[in-house]
Chains A and B, each alone.
Chain A
Amino acid sequence: MTESMRPSRRALLSSAVLATVGPAQAQAPARAPVRGGTMVMIVNPEPSTLATYAVSAGNIPPVTTQIYEGLLTYDWEIRPQPMLAKSWTVSEDGKTITFQLQEGVTFHNGQPFTSADVQYSFMEIAKKVNPNGPVILAELQSVDTPDPMTAVFNLANPAPYLMVSLSANNIPIVCKSVFEGTQPLQNPSANRPVGTGPFKFGEWNRGQFIRLDRNERYWKPGLPLLNRIIARFIPDAATRSAALETGEAHYAAYSAVNAADIRRMQANPILGSTTQGYGTTAATSVLEFNMRRPNLAKKEVRQAICYAIDRQFIVDNILHGFGKPATGPLSSVFTTQGFYTDQVRRFDVPDRLEIANRLMDEAGFPRGANGVRMSLFLEINSFGEQWLRQGEYLKQALGQIGINLTLRSEDTATWLRRCYTDYDFDINEPFYSAGADPVVGVHRHYVSSAIRRGTTFVNNKDYRSPDVDRLMDAATREIVPARRAELYHEAQRIMVEDSPGAWLCEVQYVTIFNKKLQNHTNRPLGTYSAFDRAWLER
């Protein structure tokens, strides 16, 4: 597809709203919101803990972002919007950020919210025990609190990614007095969170549900509208679909139902669906090549594999149409900020199989007696059945260029150990979310400083490119957006040429909701933000 044929992201977003929500919701603003009611949302799988400040598993924020709030939230263009910070100024050199805080905010335990809580949340909690802290807050040296309503962030170097990483799902603001004098990882508030958000923690009946109750003293006047939110846990996907169809549950995000069921549910008159609310997710399925293996150390072999895969086939048949082919290490979601480019080596050309076979010949792997050039293992992603389906397709696809692929399925702990500690793999099949900025979730897969044995989901490929290291390092500190975009464009061209991995598909998540539930998705963060304005029709 050429650039001119592609509608802008913004146009796509607004057309998606109309197409999926339909006339019933288009009229919604005309009706006055109703107060009260209990919203039931499905969260899958059940979180193991609610310590969102120390564990960043993706199933925790749907619950905790109702309870905790961040300094900022974001509009549809991922521009910062006020939350606990009502305004902010960034100094000329990008090294000082001054936040003015909301007045009259109290934590659920009655303590007033002040700049001391901000300081503590960043310096003592996020920087020390948040798994993403060392990346997002690498440049943060101190937080000054000249008065209770002002927090000044002092950075060693400019950090352009910081301002897009300050929502509650990334760095929640915790109450200093709850934590002070305790070990943060052993704090009892792990499972009884205390925040400033529109809903308070009620009870957690493990294996069944978490109940959140309306915060009567919430600082935004008149909000929240709902009395209660119940997060229900149903392990089986088909049962989750049934619970939505019978109206027992009102909301299920992150494709909690099987892709094959989504079409059926879209035809159900009581249900609606939307693909909005995943604006900072940038989820991409990839292959990682272990470049320590002599076969895969050859660039021609890696490129040949990239050519052999029909990404549109995967989108149509394995993702059931919910996604689109990926072109490189950055998701097209980053078009909004200008970082994405598709002006790279393209593997979706008509004669891709001829090119792939020629590359394999050039690399010195002629076809053997039974047409096989080499045998490799594919490590199947343990997080769900669709990855096995994808592996089965890849076996077929790579067979066309003479690679005999053996699929290996192991449980999560074994799989992680093999691919990120023992490095005993050929091709790995993971799935990544880039987050709101490439620094947060992209760099670590490609820079040589992120080759760290024993750490999951980093550069396990042994990819070492001085050019990529230099470009990404510069992009980390560049505050002029256009120059930063240029650095990423260059890095994408080099990486696609080197092909340390194959970028398969950008996965599009779907939210299914009951049409009685109104105003549930009004931020790009979707289920990673509070349902303070959501309401239920009677």
Chain B
Amino acid sequence: MRRWRYFGYRLLFALPVVFGILVLNFFLIRLAPGDAASVLAGESGAASPEYTELLRQKFGLDRPVIEQFFLYIANALRFDLGFSFRNDAPVSELILARLGPTLLLMLAAFSLAVAFGTLLGVLAAVARNSWRDAVISVATLICYATPVFWLGLMLIVVFSVNLAWLPTSGFEDIGQGYEGWERGVDIARHMVMPVAALGLFYLALYTRVMRASMLEQTGMDYVVTARAKGQSEGRIMLGHMLRNAFLPVLTMAGVQAGNLIGGSVVVETVFGWPGIGTLAFNALQSRDLNLLLGIFFISACLVVAINLIVEALTIALDPRIQA
């Protein structure tokens, strides 16, 4: 029970963390020079000073910072993320529209990477220094070192332009008006290349971690004991080593899960994928502070939540942890 009281502390502690992030975001974001009104006026060619002032009034930028701050905190506590004046749309609507495609892309890439990374890592570790190990190690090294945007473009050139197997970009085919099952297949076809481009990087990462972790376990006392008991190599590996070796991968995956909501600007840009990464990037470029703060807030909440879940898992798995 003391373990779970410890978890309760962590839960309580999360609230001031989120609040601190809220406050920090608000002031950090204002350190960037220039404001949304001047960017918008700039894109409109030469606007008159009156026009820029009109925009500042509309955006609420003419009010004192402290007033803007309290308004922002009050709204955030009610989970009202405000209005993006640049986009003429509520922030929550903009973020929600991107949430589905972002999670779809990131979860697919992430789970495939963890699954196949673990498998390849084990295969490499079992046959250490064999040709199989060499092939896997070289391949993962190449995947790890290849820039994602280049890989993405090469996939497009090969599979879309030359072979015409897959669509170049986008989330779905708009002109066809697919529905139901057909629509699912269409989206899946659009997903293949972005998931591959993004997933290969993580795949390489997890393969390397898993291989190293497996090798580390090989020399452990419990493995020697099991072998002395006469257990088969297969059983030693699957029954004993795998579970222990998987822990570092799980920890790493837990930390990186925070990236899920953030999306990937590079992959989204190359494949025209409607994700949150590009939304945040454009919001930053155009100083769309409400939208940016909204994205930060959602991401922060999610990262804190995932950390709590990982903490709960660790507590459940490892009895040594307590307050």
Q: Contact between A239 and B272 (Cβ–Cβ < 8 Å)?
A: yes
Q: What B residues does A132 contact at CB under 8 A?
A: 44-45
Which residues of chain A (397-440) have a CB below 8 Å from chain B?
411-414, 416-418, 420-421, 433
Q: Contact between A236 and B270 (Cβ–Cβ < 8 Å)?
A: yes
Interface: B49 (CB within 8 A): yes
Interface: B224 (CB within 8 A): no
Q: Contact between A207 and B45 (Cβ–Cβ < 8 Å)?
A: no
Q: Which of B42, B86, B270, B273 contacts A48 (CB 8 A)?
A: B86
Interface: B41 (CB within 8 A): yes
The closest CB in chain A to the CB of B273 belongs to A207
Q: Contact between B48 and A412 (Cβ–Cβ < 8 Å)?
A: no
Interface: B156 (CB within 8 A): yes
Question: In the assembly, what is the distance between CA of A206 and CA of B96, in Å?
Answer: 11
Q: Contact between A455 and B285 (Cβ–Cβ < 8 Å)?
A: no
Question: In the assembly, what is the distance between CA of A412 and CA of B43, in Å?
Answer: 10
Q: What A residues does B156 contact at CB under 8 A?
A: 238-239, 242
Q: Contact between B42 and A416 (Cβ–Cβ < 8 Å)?
A: yes
Question: In the assembly, what is the distance between CA of A58 and CA of B33, in Å?
Answer: 24
Q: Contact between B272 and A49 (Cβ–Cβ < 8 Å)?
A: no
Q: Which of A191, A207, A211, A444 contacts B98 (CB 8 A)?
A: A207
Which residues of chain B (12-51) have a CB below 8 Å from chain A?
32-35, 38-51
Q: Contact between A458 and B39 (Cβ–Cβ < 8 Å)?
A: no
Q: Contact between B52 and A455 (Cβ–Cβ < 8 Å)?
A: yes
Q: How many residues of A contact B (CB 8 A)?
A: 58
Interface: B279 (CB within 8 A): yes
Q: What A residues does B169 contact at CB under 8 A?
A: 234, 236, 239, 242-243, 248
Q: Contact between A185 and B54 (Cβ–Cβ < 8 Å)?
A: yes
Question: In the assembly, what is the distance between CA of A49 and CA of B94, in Å?
Answer: 13
Q: Contact between B44 and A56 (Cβ–Cβ < 8 Å)?
A: yes
Q: What A residues does B285 contact at CB under 8 A?
A: 411-413
Contact with A along B150-171 (1 / 0, CB 8 A): 0001001100110010011111
Interface: A55 (CB within 8 A): yes
Q: What A residues does B174 contact at CB under 8 A?
A: 40, 205, 208-209, 211, 230, 232
Q: Contact between B274 and A205 (Cβ–Cβ < 8 Å)?
A: yes
The distance from the CB of A226 to the nearest CB of chain B, in whole angstroms, is 11
Q: What B residues does A185 contact at CB under 8 A?
A: 54-55, 58
Interface: B202 (CB within 8 A): no
Question: In the assembly, what is the distance between CA of A132 and CA of B55, in Å?
Answer: 14
Q: Contact between B161 and A245 (Cβ–Cβ < 8 Å)?
A: yes
Q: Contact between A454 and B161 (Cβ–Cβ < 8 Å)?
A: no
Contact with A along B299-317 (1 / 0, CB 8 A): 0000000000000000000
Q: Which of A135, A207, A245, A454 contacts B275 (CB 8 A)?
A: A207
A55, A207, A211 — which one has the most chain B CB atoms within 10 A of its CB? A207
Question: In the assembly, what is the distance between CA of A457 and CA of B269, in Å?
Answer: 29
Interface: A83 (CB within 8 A): no
Q: Which of B49, B161, B164, B282 contacts A455 (CB 8 A)?
A: B49
With contact pairs A48-B86, A129-B54, A245-B161 given, residues A234 and B42 touching in the complex (Cβ less than 8 Å): no
Interface: A489 (CB within 8 A): no
Interface: A441 (CB within 8 A): yes
Q: Contact between B279 and A414 (Cβ–Cβ < 8 Å)?
A: no
Q: Contact between B32 and A456 (Cβ–Cβ < 8 Å)?
A: no
Q: What B residues does A414 contact at CB under 8 A?
A: 32-34
Question: In the assembly, what is the distance between CA of A538 and CA of B233, in Å?
Answer: 64
Interface: B221 (CB within 8 A): no
Interface: A51 (CB within 8 A): yes
Q: Contact between B45 and A457 (Cβ–Cβ < 8 Å)?
A: yes
Q: Contact between A239 and B271 (Cβ–Cβ < 8 Å)?
A: yes
The distance from the CB of A473 to the nearest CB of chain B, in whole angstroms, is 18
The distance from the CB of A161 to the nearest CB of chain B, in whole angstroms, is 15
Q: What B residues does A55 contact at CB under 8 A?
A: 40, 43-44
Q: What A residues does B40 contact at CB under 8 A?
A: 48, 55, 57
Q: What B residues does A38 contact at CB under 8 A?
A: 175
The closest CB in chain B to the CB of A243 belongs to B168
Question: In the assembly, what is the distance between CA of A205 and CA of B101, in Å?
Answer: 12
Which residues of chain A (213-269) have a CB below 8 Å from chain B?
228, 230, 232-236, 238-239, 242-243, 245-246, 248
Q: Which of B39, B42, B274 contacts A206 (CB 8 A)?
A: B274
Question: In the assembly, what is the distance between CA of A38 and CA of B88, in Å?
Answer: 28
Which residues of chain A (437-492) have a CB below 8 Å from chain B?
441, 444, 450, 452, 454-458
Interface: B286 (CB within 8 A): yes
B47, B50, B97, B271 — which one has the most chain A CB atoms within 10 A of its CB? B47
Q: Contact between A455 and B46 (Cβ–Cβ < 8 Å)?
A: yes
Q: What B residues does A51 contact at CB under 8 A?
A: 88
13 sample A-B contacts, Cβ–Cβ < 8 Å, listed by A number? A48-B88, A131-B45, A206-B89, A206-B97, A207-B275, A230-B175, A234-B168, A235-B272, A236-B169, A238-B156, A248-B167, A248-B169, A412-B42
**Minimum-distance CB pairs A-B, first 3:** A413-B34, A207-B274, A131-B47
Give A contacts to B, CB under 8 Å: 38, 40, 45, 48-49, 51, 55-58, 129, 131-132, 134-135, 185-186, 190-191, 205-209, 211, 228, 230, 232-236, 238-239, 242-243, 245-246, 248, 411-414, 416-418, 420-421, 433, 441, 444, 450, 452, 454-458
Q: A49-B87, A205-B174, A232-B174 are in contact. List 16 more A-B contacts (CB 8 A).
A: A55-B44, A56-B45, A131-B41, A131-B47, A191-B88, A207-B171, A235-B269, A236-B270, A246-B168, A248-B167, A411-B285, A414-B32, A421-B38, A433-B45, A441-B46, A456-B47
